[in-house]
A and B are shown apart, each in its own frame.
Chain A
């Protein structure tokens, strides 16, 4: 099964609410990254958190990493309609040869 699995698969919220997405993985990692994909487009990098970090912020994004539970969460605060997209976590597996393994993705819809 996938190295990274995300939960929920789909999320629908109102503008202004917070959105939380979770990612679980199976093996030791060097870092974990979050990406965003608008429909039919390529992926865009949002944030990278290393295995020795626990929390990172970037604008309205907050990422946490719990290596003991092999899980990460992405929080988008004060969501906007423009945040509607698919969000993916990706893991750089230790000894994995410098390539990323992507999770299954969460489809976020932010309604006005």
Chain B
């Protein structure tokens, strides 16, 4: 079992609300990632971090923002949710200091529905 946790698992909210999806890991990993998964299964990287105070935008443009104040915590925030943000959001982490990207450990995901 991976020691990476996402909350909430499911969230249904109205348009315009601010939401934060939480992601925490207890493995001491420096690298953390947020992927968005659409109904067709495809995963898109939207944010990643190499460590504390490091955040980068991923390959898919997203209106969400992230922060990395502590190693173990990588929350994702939407200031004003819209129906187009409805999706599954997956958080992952991996070790750093390697020449290549190693195994990613994923959380169970947060399924967001915006009405």
Interface on A for B, CB 8 Å cutoff? 2, 30-31, 33, 35, 40-45, 48, 50, 86, 88, 90, 92, 97-102, 104-105, 107
Contacting residues of chain B (62-115) with chain A, CB-CB under 8 angstroms:
90, 92, 96, 98-109, 111
Nearest Cβ distance between residue A85 and chain B, in whole angstroms?
11
Residues A99 and B102 in contact, CB atoms below 8 Å apart:
no
List of B residues within 8 angstroms of A105 by Cβ:
41-42
From A31, A98, A101, A107, contact of B41 by CB (8 A) = A107
* Cα–Cα distance between A107 and B92 once the two chains are bound (Å): 21
Chain B 14-29 per-residue mask, 1 if CB under 8 angstroms from chain A, else 0: 0000000000000000
Dominant secondary structure of chain A at its interface with chain B: strand
Given A42-B90, A88-B41, A104-B40, 18 other A-B contacts at CB below 8 A?
A: A2-B42, A30-B101, A33-B104, A40-B111, A41-B109, A42-B92, A42-B106, A45-B103, A45-B104, A88-B43, A90-B104, A98-B50, A98-B100, A99-B45, A100-B33, A100-B45, A101-B45, A105-B42
Interface on B for A, CB 8 Å cutoff? 2, 6, 31, 33, 35, 40-43, 45, 48, 50, 56, 58-59, 90, 92, 96, 98-109, 111
* Cα–Cα distance between A98 and B99 once the two chains are bound (Å): 8
* Cα–Cα distance between A104 and B103 once the two chains are bound (Å): 19
Residues A48 and B102 in contact, CB atoms below 8 Å apart:
yes
* Cα–Cα distance between A91 and B31 once the two chains are bound (Å): 16
Known contacts A50-B100, A86-B41, A101-B45, A44 near B35 by CB under 8 Å: no
Residues B105 and A30 in contact, CB atoms below 8 Å apart:
no
List of B residues within 8 angstroms of A100 by Cβ:
33, 45, 101, 104
Known contacts A101-B59, A102-B35, A48 near B41 by CB under 8 Å: no
Residues B101 and A98 in contact, CB atoms below 8 Å apart:
yes
For B107, the closest partner residue in chain A by CB is A42
Residues B42 and A43 in contact, CB atoms below 8 Å apart:
no
